Chain A
Amino acid sequence: MEAIARLVAAEATPAELKNNAAAASAGYAYGLAAIGPGIGIGYLVGKSVEAMARQPEAAGMVRTTMFLGIAFTEALALIGFVVFILLKFA
């Protein structure tokens, strides 16, 4: 409780406030950006494994397409990561 009281009592300068807000939103930026691609890549790889198990002779083709799909899906998460870096450090 004492620590919280001290935090409330401390006066934050505008620059500090801005830094705090940037740090917090940097976390949200990456966390939120990772949800969609996470689900997408999981679904994509799961389905590809299913396809490869059903038709092992098509495994090469499925794998190439899988990597392409991963590359496109992953780009969204990576843009989130770049936003994180920009907010946190720039």
Chain B
Amino acid sequence: MIALDFPEINSILVWKDIFPNFPFNKVALIAVLATLISATIFLLAVRQSHKEAPKGIRNFAEMIVEFVEDGIVMQTMGKDGLAWTPFLLTMFMFIYLCNVPGIIPFFQMPATARMAVPMFLALMVWVIYNVTGIKHQGVGGYLKSTLFPPGVPKALYILVTPIEFISAIIVRPFSLAVRLFANMMAGHILLVTFALLSEALFQAKDKVLIPVGILPFFMLVFLTSFEVLVAFLQAYIFAMLTAVYIGGATHPEH
């Protein structure tokens, strides 16, 4: 029997500072790069004249904007939510570009697999949808439409109001952050597990075990392509839930 020790969890999640005595590690580098890359794409795209047919990078940028407009905003907030497109687009691009380094060689780490990044994003969304709700309906109106949903028998409010309070104030940002974080960390840990397993089998002393190493290696290839999908899907779901929460705060159910 052979056994394989999984490394200490911190050795796959915590990275050393790149420069000595300066708190800036790989995760921070990925977040900065994500910001710079998305800003560069859209700044280059906007420099092209909008009177001619779009070409090159502008085509690409328009494709992303259209995806966010049609796939996220129109599906959840409708036409008057279109003013939120820039915010949701920024959110989507940042999260996607933070997720994707999980499968890019030499980075091999999704920035969103550290709780700080998703938690900050979720807190930002929490502040934004609460402020939007208060701005659109006033403090009383917002509290009334969130805590006392219409169409419920009066006696049931004893039960409904605490549940609504917990779900709208506490559970929403928590689940938003945990969903992104846990998905990316689970993917990261799975990739590490299968990479270590195939490495250990390929270098096994017992020659019989070497061909067996192909199995975890195939699983590694499959999971890597699966992570491409997960990285996109998590960014999409995060942006979509943000849109749903903001839409719910601006237009209460009647």
| A67 close to B182 (CB less than 8 A) | no
Which residues does chain A contribute within 8 Å of B96, judged by CB atoms? none
Chain A 62-88 interface mask (CB, 8 Å, partner B; 1/0): 001001101110110011011001001
Query: Does chain A have a CB within 8 A of B236?
Result: yes
Report, as a range, how many residues of chain B touch the other chain: 10 to 19
Q: How many residues of A contact B (CB 8 A)?
A: 17
Q: Flag whether A43 is at the interface (Cβ < 8 A).
A: no
Q: Is the CB of A75 within 8 A of B179?
A: yes
Which chain A residues border B241 with CB–CB below 8 Å? 68, 71
Do the beta carbons of B75 and A82 come within 8 Å of each other? Answer: no
Minimal beta-carbon separation of B225 from chain A (angstroms)? 20
Residues of B within 8 A of A61 (CB): 75
Instruction: Please measure, in the bound complex, the distance between the C-alpha atom of A85 and the C-alpha atom of B186, giving whole angstroms.
Output: 10
User: Residues of A contacting B8 with CB < 8 Å?
Assistant: 89
**Cβ B76 vs Cβ A71 within 8 A:** no
Interface readout for B161-201 with A: 1 if CB under 8 Å, 0 if not?
A: 00000000000000100110111011000000000000000
A interface majority secondary structure: helix
Give chain A nearest CB distance to B68 CB in angstroms.
13
Residues of A within 8 A of B240 (CB): 64, 67-68, 71
A82 contact from B76, B178, B233, B236, Cβ within 8 A = B178
Could you tell me if A64 and B186 are in contact, using CB atoms closer than 8 angstroms?
no
Say yes or no for A14: interface residue by CB 8 A criterion: no
Establish whether residues B178 and A78, one from each chain, have CB atoms under 8 Å apart when the complex forms. Answer: yes
Q: In whole angstroms, how far apart are the Cα atoms of A71 and B240 in the complex?
A: 10
CA distance A2 to B182 in the complex (A): 41
Q: Report yes or no: A74 in contact with B185, Cβ–Cβ below 8 A.
A: no
B contact residues around A60 at 8 Å (CB):
75
Residues of A contacting B183 in the complex (Cβ-Cβ under 8 angstroms): 78
Determine the distance from Cα of A74 to Cα of B241 in the docked complex, in whole angstroms: 14
Q: Which residues of A line the B interface, CB within 8 A? A: 60-61, 64, 67-68, 70-72, 74-75, 78-79, 81-82, 85, 88-89
List the interface of chain B (C-beta within 8 A of A).
8-9, 71, 75-76, 175, 178-179, 181-183, 185-186, 233, 236-237, 240-241, 244
For this complex, 27 residue pairs linking A to B, each with C-beta atoms less than 8 Å apart, are A60-B75, A61-B75, A64-B71, A64-B75, A64-B76, A67-B236, A68-B237, A68-B240, A68-B244, A70-B237, A71-B179, A72-B175, A74-B179, A75-B175, A75-B178, A75-B179, A78-B178, A78-B179, A78-B182, A78-B186, A79-B178, A81-B186, A82-B181, A82-B182, A85-B9, A89-B8, A89-B9
